[in-house]
Structure 1
Amino acid sequence: MMGSNQSTLSDHHVFQSGQGQIGFNLMNSLQQSPESDSTRERLASLDIQKRVKDELQRLQNKEDQISKSTDERIAKESTEGSQIGRDSVARSISTLSQKLRNQSGSIDQSEVVKNAETAVVRCLRLNDRRPLDCWREVEEFKREVARLENAFVGKVVGDV
């Protein structure tokens, strides 16, 4: 009968071609190696970790070098440019803050702004179901408030 003989698998395979012999030798050396798969895997993992660590260190060194050169360039430009120091900027900020605190209570609405506000309120009450009809009054109010703000800022900043 055909197929009645079962083929048996032997423990060793012999390959005839040159490439097969290399594969067999490699398999033989791996099987006889005292290292297990987990050991080889651990060694490969350690090698990868070392290469990643080395690359991170190289990048860190490069970043430090760029940062240092940038700091040196900024320091050089600041000494060559205007001599505005931290203290003078802090004094200017302090002076402006003090002026704003002193004048914050003294903002007077001009008569024009009060009239514009009254016109907006009156229009919204008359057109309570159609508030979009009051756009002219709202625009006039915005213009007057902007004018008042600009005058205030000019007064505060102009005193510096």
Structure 2
Amino acid sequence: MGAGQSKPESDEKVFQAQVPITFAPDVVNQLSDNLESTETSPQRQSLIDAHIRARIQGELEHLKKEEEDVRQQIEQALEKENLDKEKTMAGEASANDGSSSGDVKTSATLFGDLEEIRNKINKYHAKRDLSAHPEVQQAGSVLVECYKRNATTSLNCWREVDAFKATVSNLEQNYLKSL
């Protein structure tokens, strides 16, 4: 049942030439010289060099990727270890104090505090905006110009200082009346 087909046949094929094949003596000499010489041709050498360079480059890329993977794993392990250490320190501090919040804060808590402070600073800067009060802004710029003109004799700007104070005082009074 098909046993004959499943056996591999030999790979050798023999062809009998009907016409005798002859090679020119130059071709035979060149082929025999190529077999005897151990040097490779410049074209063959450049192909070999390009192939070797490509394999080295590929291996270098592979090693760089492995190095990056190992670096990321180490960073993740260190981050996890630091978070665990912070949690245990915060737990020990709260157990020693008898309170729910310890002196040692986790990085997440510190990050939240930092965001809260940033929001307060932004609100403060928004309140300092003088664009809604051009008279104060103008008096301030006149005062700054006077100080720049009289860098060594700033007492000569007393009139501008008084004008700025009066403008700010008027603004404060108007604000208090509006309340």
TM-score, structure 2 as length reference: 0.38
Normalised TM-score (structure 1):
0.41
Higher relative contact order (CA 8 A, sep 6+): 1
